[in-house]
Structure 1
Amino acid sequence: MIPGPFSYHRPTTVADAVKLLSTLGDDARPLAGGHSLVPMMKLRLATPEHLIDLHDIAGLKGVTRDGNNVLIGAMTTQHELLASEVIAKSIPVLHEAALLIADPQVRYRGTVGGNVANGDPGNDMPALMLTLGAAYRLEGPNGVRKVAAADYYQGAYFTAIEAGEILTSISIPVPAAGHGHAYEKLKRKVGDYATAAAAVVLTMSGGKVETCAIGLTNLSETPLLADAAAKAVIGTSLDAASLKKAAAAAQAIMAPAADARGPVEYRKHVGGIMVMRALQRAAAKAA
């Protein structure tokens, strides 16, 4: 199918984009990479009357380090994320995960902001943002506000963003020096959403886990932060019993849908395996 008719707008400032979204209301949608919105439009699952293309807005691209935080412009593509030395040195788990998103063609066009903004439970970056303690900068008709990634996702395609607002950048605290990281993703084929995926960022001291955060992808209607699973491994050397305990704690909060990727119990089972694998690989990387 082809999309229904729509009017096309290409503002050059965030203020102009916000004004258009506020004025046009529910009939307008912002366009970043388009990998979620355009397929929905082709299937007539989304029928916006106005598209607000964000590609000409200066300042929405780029990766910089500001003290102990890394700032990522919302229109930064996955390819640009992969090419960033700041990401490679400061937050390498994002580099690792970006390589697992779809294929090179999609990564050249798909944006980080688009991946985190729309609340698609299958997207990879949201769970990583939870794991890393990221915050989103939202700009709208009432000014600027920051929302923690942990507070942003409220349901499938339902987020804390308000009418007229645009997610303009992402702020991520730089993990501790010597941290370990991993993103384990099980998928049916290249380009597919995860059947189950787990992100881990941890630090080790004296052979034992000192700090840990675990995020889960596509195992509920929102990305999940598996706090109980992370706490289960603190102070342990990640022995077999501790890994199983962490997997069980993570599985307790999983609520995946049964779909072509498998029934619920299978997806929870492999979700636990992804958690154990990510923990082991992150620990092996920790200095």
Structure 2
Amino acid sequence: MIPASFDYVRPESLEEACRVLGEAADSGDDVKVLAGGQSLLPLLRLRLAYPSTLVDLGRLPGLRGIDDRGDHVFVGALTTHDEVLRSAVIRDRAPLLALATATVADPAVRHRGTLGGSLAHADPAGDLPAVALALGCVLVARSGDGEREIPAADFFVDYLETALGPGEVLTGVKVPVLGPGWGFHYEKFHRTAQAWAIVGVAAAVRRGDGIVEEARIGLTNMGSVPVRAGAVEETLRGVDLASPGSDGTADPIAQACARADEGTSPSSDLHARPDYRRHLARVLTRRAVRSAIG
């Protein structure tokens, strides 16, 4: 299909982009931001989105790159998925982000799609929002009024809706560097390599003295926004890792992960019904946690 007509603007600076977005919002225009375009363009072609103005940020300077800042890694919003995957800093300092990014669509999409665009698009079936939630990432936004930081827990508001204001541009992501003892895994079920996740699980588990000291579990496509599996995280804390279940008792890891769907609101669509997604969440969480524990 052919997209509906729209005005196209390509600002030359971040300041100009913020001004254009603010003016469009003040005039009541429906404006969309284009980064890599791998999520937005299909919506335009199917006319599921029909903005009056499209603001292309693809050539803005200063919004691309990966910087190790000690307690966190800063990733520019226009950094592509492929650049994330090829980064030794990401592999060493933020391995969960690398693991999940490797499952995003296919190489063609990963060469064009961006980390910031994926997060700002806020599709609950996207892989990276759940990772940002599990890691406790902080998203940095800029407007004409200055810069502000938005925790991932507050960033995703509803389906395809974020906390970004009308004149704000996502400029980067602070990815916390978790210390020794942490293990990571991203587990995903999808129909084909290019398809969205039916369900995905981002798991980060910290071990110490033979027990689970902390767990962070982010769920993909189990609601209108990415969600934390709080019941699993709470139940896993303090679990003894010394051959769980070998004495004939129930496996405490399996018991904890059986609570993965608690508090979720999975949707029903052509790909899966809610009860199937709930089943997948429990199974995939168990796999992800075991892999993260090692």
**TM-score of Structure 1 vs Structure 2, range by shorter chain:** over 0.9
Aligned residue among 56, 61, 66 for 1:63: 66
- Range with bigger deviation, 34-43 or 162-171: 34-43
Distance in 1 of aligned mates of 2:6 and 2:282: 44
Residues 195-217 of structure 1, C-alpha deviations (whole Å, 9 max, x = no match): 11111111111221111111000
Q: Give the gaps of 5 or more residues in structure 2.
A: 245-249
Distance in 2 of aligned mates of 1:216 and 1:187: 14
- Range with bigger deviation, 4-13 or 132-141: 4-13
Q: Give the gaps of 5 or more residues in structure 1.
A: none
Q: What is residue 268 of structure 1 aligned with on the other side?
A: 278
2:82 is aligned with 1:72: no
Give the AA of the match of 1:221.
Answer: S
Q: What is residue 150 of structure 1 aligned with on the other side?
A: 153
Distance in 1 of aligned mates of 2:51 and 2:274: 33
Q: What is residue 247 of structure 2 aligned with on the other side?
A: none
Deviation (angstroms), 1:14: 0.9
Distance in 2 of aligned mates of 1:112 and 1:19: 23
Over 6 Å off, 4+ runs = none
Contact kept, 8 Å, 2:33 with 2:54, in 1: the verdict is yes
Q: What is residue 277 of structure 1 aligned with on the other side?
A: 287
Give the AA of the match of 1:39.
Answer: P
Give the AA of the match of 1:106.
Answer: V
Contact kept, 8 Å, 1:246 with 1:275, in 2: the verdict is no
Name the Cα RMSD after superposition.
Answer: 1.3
Distance in 1 of aligned mates of 2:23 and 2:269: 39
Deviation (angstroms), 1:247: 2.2
Contact kept, 8 Å, 1:121 with 1:220, in 2: the verdict is yes
- Range with bigger deviation, 2-11 or 99-108: 2-11
Aligned residue among 239, 245, 250 for 1:236: 239
Deviation (angstroms), 1:187: 0.7
Deviation (angstroms), 1:37: 1.4
- Matched position secondary structure for 1:222: coil
Distance in 2 of aligned mates of 1:236 and 1:163: 45
Deviation (angstroms), 1:71: 0.3
Residues 73-111 of structure 1, C-alpha deviations (whole Å, 9 max, x = no match): 000000000011110110111111111010000000000
Contact kept, 8 Å, 2:213 with 2:238, in 1: the verdict is yes
Task: Output aligned runs, 1:1-287, within 5 Å.
Answer: 1-25=1-25, 26-237=29-240, 239=244, 241-284=251-294
Give the TM-score of the pair, scaled to structure 1.
Answer: 0.95
The percent of aligned pairs where both chains have the same amino acid is: 38
Give the AA of the match of 1:266.
Answer: Y
Contact kept, 8 Å, 2:222 with 2:277, in 1: the verdict is yes
Distance in 2 of aligned mates of 1:7 and 1:251: 43
Distance in 1 of aligned mates of 2:271 and 2:287: 20
Contact kept, 8 Å, 2:64 with 2:77, in 1: the verdict is yes
Give the AA of the match of 1:211.
Answer: E
Q: How many residues align?
A: 284
Deviation (angstroms), 1:48: 1.5
Deviation (angstroms), 1:8: 1.9
Distance in 1 of aligned mates of 2:180 and 2:208: 12
